[in-house]
């Protein structure tokens, strides 16, 4: 089996994006509408959808990331549960960001291979971690503030942490399945190739 499965056509990419968002099961109609709008009719070359679910003592927090690759941009889309939704209802925070391919300085692809002494060409890894970094900006992650009174329903604003602007996504064959791993490898390979071509055309050093 090849490490990078064959690329899909534009129509297949769009249909696969819709299927992946439905499979993720996290407001798929909202996600498809917002993420598709961000394409501005550019060709979708490749994409990756990833869902993180975190549990605490009394709630579940979900986060979906969608990475959409066009000929000129990487579009990052995020949807998070917003715990400050209306009483008896739900709310979600949606954000999208455009990153020109020439701004991407790092496309790090880390793979883990089991039993490397028995490696054969074309063998897929057990997992892959894709790390992206761009410019020197910092990201502010905000979370709702609360006081110690469980009966208090006042708005206490937000608090946040400032971290270096990058993104890291891990996909494991055991956790997400081999098809998801293959899609992550396909996306990472296409993204790295596109960034190299864009930076070379712009006369920039490879990141």
Average pLDDT across each block of 10 residues of the chain; the chain has 207 residues. List them in order.
51 88 92 93 94 68 91 95 73 92 93 96 95 72 72 74 75 94 96 95 77
**38 is a domain residue:** yes
Contacts from 113-116 at CB under 8 Å and sequence distance 24+?
A: none
Match 């715990």 to its residue by tokens.
Answer: 83
Q: What pLDDT was estimated at residue 5? A: 44
* Confidence (pLDDT) at 1: 36
Is 206 inside a domain boundary? no
User: Domain tally for the chain?
Assistant: 1
CA atoms within 13 A on the CB side of 93: 13
Per-residue pLDDT, 99: 94
- Is residue 2 assigned to a domain? no
Question: Whole-angstrom Cα distance, residue 188 to residue 81?
Answer: 27
- Count CA within 13 A, CB hemisphere, residue 34: 22
Q: What pTM did the predictor assign? A: 0.79
Residue 144 lies in a domain: yes
CA angle 96, 27, 41 (to 5 degrees): 45
Could you tell me if residue 118 is inside a domain?
yes
Domain hosting 83: range is 10-201
- Asked if the structure places residue 82 within a domain, the reply is yes
**What pLDDT is stored for residue 55 in this prediction?**
62
- DSSP state letter for 137: E
Q: What angle do CA 46, 25, 126 make, to 5 degrees?
A: 55
Whether 194 is covered by a domain: the verdict is yes
In-domain check, residue 72: yes
């Amino acid at each position: 089996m090849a490490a990078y499965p064959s690329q899909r056509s534009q129509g297949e990419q769009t249909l696969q994006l819709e299927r992946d968002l439905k499979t993720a099961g996290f407001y798929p109609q909202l996600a498809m509408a917002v993420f598709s709008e961000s394409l501005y009719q550019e060709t979708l070359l490749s994409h990756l959808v990833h869902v993180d679910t975190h549990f605490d003592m009394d709630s579940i927090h979900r986060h979906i990331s969608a990475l959409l690759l066009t000929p000129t941009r990487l579009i990052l889309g995020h949807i998070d549960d917003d715990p400050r939704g209306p009483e008896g209802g739900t709310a979600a925070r949606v954000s999208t960001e455009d990153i020109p391919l020439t701004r991407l300085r790092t496309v790090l692809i880390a793979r883990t291979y089991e039993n490397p002494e028995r490696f054969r060409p074309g063998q897929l890894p057990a997992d892959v971690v894709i790390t992206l970094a761009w410019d020197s900006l910092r990201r502010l992650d905000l979370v709702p503030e609360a006081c110690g009174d469980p009966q208090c329903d006042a708005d206490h604003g937000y608090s946040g942490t400032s971290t270096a602007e990058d993104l890291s996504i891990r996909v494991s064959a055991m956790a997400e399945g081999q098809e998801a791993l293959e899609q992550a490898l396909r996306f990472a390979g296409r993204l790295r190739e596109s960034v190299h071509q864009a930076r070379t055309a712009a006369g920039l050093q490879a990141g």
